[in-house]
Structure 1
Amino acid sequence: MSLSPDTRGPWFLADHGALDFINTVAQAGGQPHDFWQSDEDVRAWLVQAGLSTGAGAEGAPGELLHEARQLRDTVRALVAAKKAGDPVDVTPLNRALTAAGGCNQLVAGESGVLHITRVYAGHAPAQQLGPVAELAASLLADAHFERVRECEHPACSLWFYDTTKAHRRRWCSMALCGNRAKVARFRRQQK
């Protein structure tokens, strides 16, 4: 989607957390616009996405931002390669998964009900981004990867997971890109 100066984001419209993660870069005036400009932007996104490990910040200032951007580029490249039918080098993502160092633990909830939760040993950027790396791996291994699509609007670079019943979704958001395409088609028909 092409951004206007008053557009707020990033958006959560991909119907998959890993795709929302790579959608934190969108087109603005024909140029990529990165919604992350600081560690705090990344932390806020993780909280908003429900992917925060609850860990406090460790590492040098800017380290989380750098690691998040690097992971985002890796995931975007892997999704695009798999979608194009090209060979997928999973080495960089496996490195991120290893660095996250998470493990499952059995936890008793408030009413005594047991559930499995994922915990991370530390608070370094790699551990904070662990849930995202795991979502990306899950997406790439998904048996229904054909439902991963890039928005068909020519000025949009966002990805989404098609959860519609007929699996014919074409736009990142019907309210944004879909509506713009309909208006453009209507104008062409009026000429």
Structure 2
Amino acid sequence: MEIKKFSSPPLFLADNLALDFINTEYGVGDDRHDCFDDDRSVIAWLETAGVVPEGVEAPPELLAEARQFRDAARAVVHAAMKSSEADLTVINRILERGRPETRLTWDQDAQRYRVDVRSGADSPAGLLWPVADALVKLVTDEKFEYVRQCEAHNCILLFHDLSKSHRRRWCSMATCGNRMKVAAFRNRKGS
């Protein structure tokens, strides 16, 4: 079994699959990190996210498709946050080409009908479809208003604030939240 290695560790702190996917590229300037550096790293992220089972082979061009989709998804989320329009070409292409095939079948052993769903794990769109589906559900949900960008300086991460009070300000209290609180404390003590 191949060990999963990421050149930059993935962050799962957004409380939403689509936002976690967007957050696979994080940081600014020289501190910019991309969790996707080859097809296998995309598969590793999808496995870690629970979207695909372990052992799925990466189809050709997965990295290019994942990066293009991530950029389009980020643009759509930012546009939705501003109540404006964005280019939906890439997202709609993945939704169309990657849609799982659903069939009604007869299960002879159980003597009953069942739903058989087959995903297109042999194509980039098929592997990315669950993330595109999560994105569609996110931007069309009435709770989209609780999607936020971290308030920490130099942090571009997005998250879905599902807290009861909807007052979450940082992508992670352990990292950005702590850093910002320490900075505020030092500013108060210094003045």
TM-score normalized by structure 2?
0.84
Task: Report SS of the residue matched to 2:32.
Answer: strand
Provide the residue aligned with 2:83 in structure 1.
Answer: 85
Provide the residue aligned with 1:165 in structure 2.
Answer: 164
RMSD, matched Cα? 2.7
Provide the residue aligned with 1:3 in structure 2.
Answer: none
Provide the residue aligned with 1:143 in structure 2.
Answer: 142
Provide the residue aligned with 1:102 in structure 2.
Answer: 100
Q: More relative contact order in 1 or in 2 (CA 8 Å, sep 6+)?
A: 1
Match of 2:70 among 64, 69, 72: 72
Matched to 1:15, the amino acid is D
The structure-2 alpha-carbon separation of the partners of 1:136 and 1:115, relative to structure 1 and needing over 3 Å to count, comes to farther
- Tell me if the contact between 2:120 and 2:126 (Cα under 8 Å) persists in the aligned partners: yes
Structure 2, unmatched stretches of 5+, are 1-6
Q: Point out the structure with max Rg over C-alpha.
A: 2
Task: Report SS of the residue matched to 2:142.
Answer: coil
Distance in 1 between the 2:171 and 2:114 partners?
34
Query: 1:55: Cα distance to partner?
Result: 7.8
Query: 1:104: Cα distance to partner?
Result: 3.7
Query: 1:28: Cα distance to partner?
Result: 5.4
Distance in 2 between the 1:65 and 1:92 partners?
14
- Tell me if the contact between 2:56 and 2:121 (Cα under 8 Å) persists in the aligned partners: no
Distance in 2 between the 1:120 and 1:147 partners?
31
**Is structure 2 residue 57 aligned with structure 1 residue 57?**
yes
Distance in 2 between the 1:79 and 1:141 partners?
11
Structure 1, unmatched stretches of 5+, are 1-6
TM-score normalized by structure 1?
0.84
- Tell me if the contact between 1:55 and 1:128 (Cα under 8 Å) persists in the aligned partners: no
Matched to 1:52, the amino acid is V
Task: Report SS of the residue matched to 1:149.
Answer: strand
Aligned residues: 181
Distance in 2 between the 1:85 and 1:117 partners?
38
